[in-house]
Amino acid sequence: MFSLTGKIAAVTGAGSGIGKAIAELFARQGAVVAAIDVDDAAAAATAAGIVASGFAARAFAGDVGDGASVTSVFGRLESEFGTLDILVNNAGISHIGNVQTTSEEDFDRVYRVNVKGVFLCAKAGIDIMLRHGGGVIVNMASIASHIGLPDRFAYSMSKGAVLMMTKAIAVDYVKKNIRCNCISPARVHTPFVDGFLKQHYPGREQEMLAKLSDYQPVGRMGTPEEVAILALYLCSDEASFVTGQAYPIDGGVMAQ
């Protein structure tokens, strides 16, 4: 079950965190992985680690918020692999602030990556999938797509858009053998979280880590690997009856 043998899978934001975990798991399950990241060294490191473990991957440096870059990356991907079976739109950035403290520049920056980036990659990926009989898309949303979070105005805006793009793609392409779902995590312990705490709470990292962990009723953050397992299910043939859905993985946050 959950084999991806013979599949070509593109993962954006594959240089670290959830994207890296997804790329590594998909490769172990048999996929040939295109590890895409704006940080070319990080993408290369992910791909090299996968290859060193005996699996197949190739690094692609690309900026998901730039149309020319996305066109180039997906063009090279199709030229090299011949098709695209799976696309995971994972690349994203965060922002802290309410509507009054969010600058226009901050808003545009979050929109460019989290919304425009998903749009551009989905458009390019679907173009390839339609030429080769279909495929699967998983977008990375958030619990912020569903509930209000304090001081996450721009971020919540962007993840709400991801949720509705997911549903729109699902209904537009359901008859063309393309499925589209999204994952809505609560807090996940990634290197980004550690870097954020070091930057904003120097000397108080452990205190704030405990506070962030306690937000989830289960008393801890999720792990990138747990999110990757859910992505694997949604991208596998075992989920062939699932499309247009948002799957929370939140430690009980939305059950409250």
DSSP H helices in the chain: 17-28, 40-52, 67-81, 104-111, 117-131, 153-173, 191-200, 205-214, 224-235
Three-state SS at 22: helix
233 catalytic? Reply is no
Distance separating alpha carbons of residues 214 and 183, to the nearest angstrom = 21
Please classify residue 243 by burial: count the beta carbons closer than 10 Å to its beta carbon, then call 0-12 exposed, 13-18 middle and 19+ buried.
buried
DSSP state of 115: I
Amino acid at 94: S
Annotated catalytic residue within 155, 173, 215, 247 = 155
Query: Which of these, 200, 193, 101, lies nearest to 154 by C-alpha position?
Result: 101
DSSP state of 144: G
Please classify residue 83 by burial: count the beta carbons closer than 10 Å to its beta carbon, then call 0-12 exposed, 13-18 middle and 19+ buried.
middle
Query: Which of these, 109, 115, 114, 91, lies nearest to 13 by C-alpha position?
Result: 91
Q: Is the Cα dihedral 130, 37, 89, 9 positive or negative?
A: positive
Give the catalytic positions in this structure: 155
